[in-house]
Amino acid sequence: MTGEENLMVDYERARDFFNLDECEKERDLLILQSAQESVENYLDRKLCIVEYICIQKIQDRRIILEELNPVELVRILDLTARQSLNADCQLDGRKLYFFDGRLENHEIIARYTAGFTKETLPQDLAECIMNVFMHKSECARKRIKGGLEIKDYKILNGLEMPEEARQILEAYRRKTL
C-alpha cells in the first residue's frame, strides 16, 4: 500500500503537471508522500483533518485554538463546573467566542477537528507540496544512478526544503504563533 488515499495532492495532478511516466507510479507515489510528509514536518502538523483537544481558561469570553483551520467543534467540557457545555459559542478562525459571561475564567476542554480536505487545501500549500515533490524527484533521479532502490526513498525526507516552499510554509507557521 502506497498511502495514495492519504495524499493531499492527487497523483493524477502531479502526473499531468510533471508528465510522469505511468510505469514509475510506485516510485513517484513514494516521493509525493515524502514531499507531503516534509511539508507536514516543517509545519509541525498534519494537513489532513485530525481531532485535537485543547485545555484553556476562558478569558475575554474566548479561547484561541492551537491548530490551523479548525473545522468543527466536537465537544466542550467545563472543568470548573464539571459538566458538558452546550453554551452558545461561535468559531471565528482559531478563536472560539462564548456568549455567556458567567463562563469567564472557567477552564474548559474543547475537542475539535482541524485540517484540510483535498478540496479545501489552500492552493499555495498544494503548490508547495508539488514544489517539494519536484525537488525530491530531481534528487531521486540523481541517486538512482548510484543504486537507490524504492525501499530507500525515506532518505529523501532528510533533504533540505526548497527556498520557495520554505517562504510559503513560514507564513503558515507564523499564523499559529
Q: Are 136 and 158 in contact (CB under 8 A)?
A: no
The answer for 72, left when phi > 0, alpha when psi is -120 to 50, beta otherwise, is: beta
Report the mean per-residue pLDDT for the chain. Answer: 84
SS3 95: strand
Cα 54 to chain centroid distance, Å, stands at: 17
Tens of pLDDT, residues 124-147: 999 999 999 998 888 777 665 555
At 154, is the pLDDT very low, low, confident or very high (cuts 50, 70, 90)? low
Our CA dihedral for 57, 58, 64, 65, rounded to 10 degrees, sits at: 60
The pLDDT value recorded for residue 144 is 59
34-63 pLDDT, tens digit per residue, is 899 999 999 888 899 989 999 999 999 999
Instruction: Give yes or no for a contact between 84 and 50, defined as CB atoms under 8 angstroms apart.
Output: no
Q: What is the pLDDT of residues 79-129, one digit of tens each?
A: 998 898 877 888 888 899 999 999 999 999 999 998 899 999 999 999 999
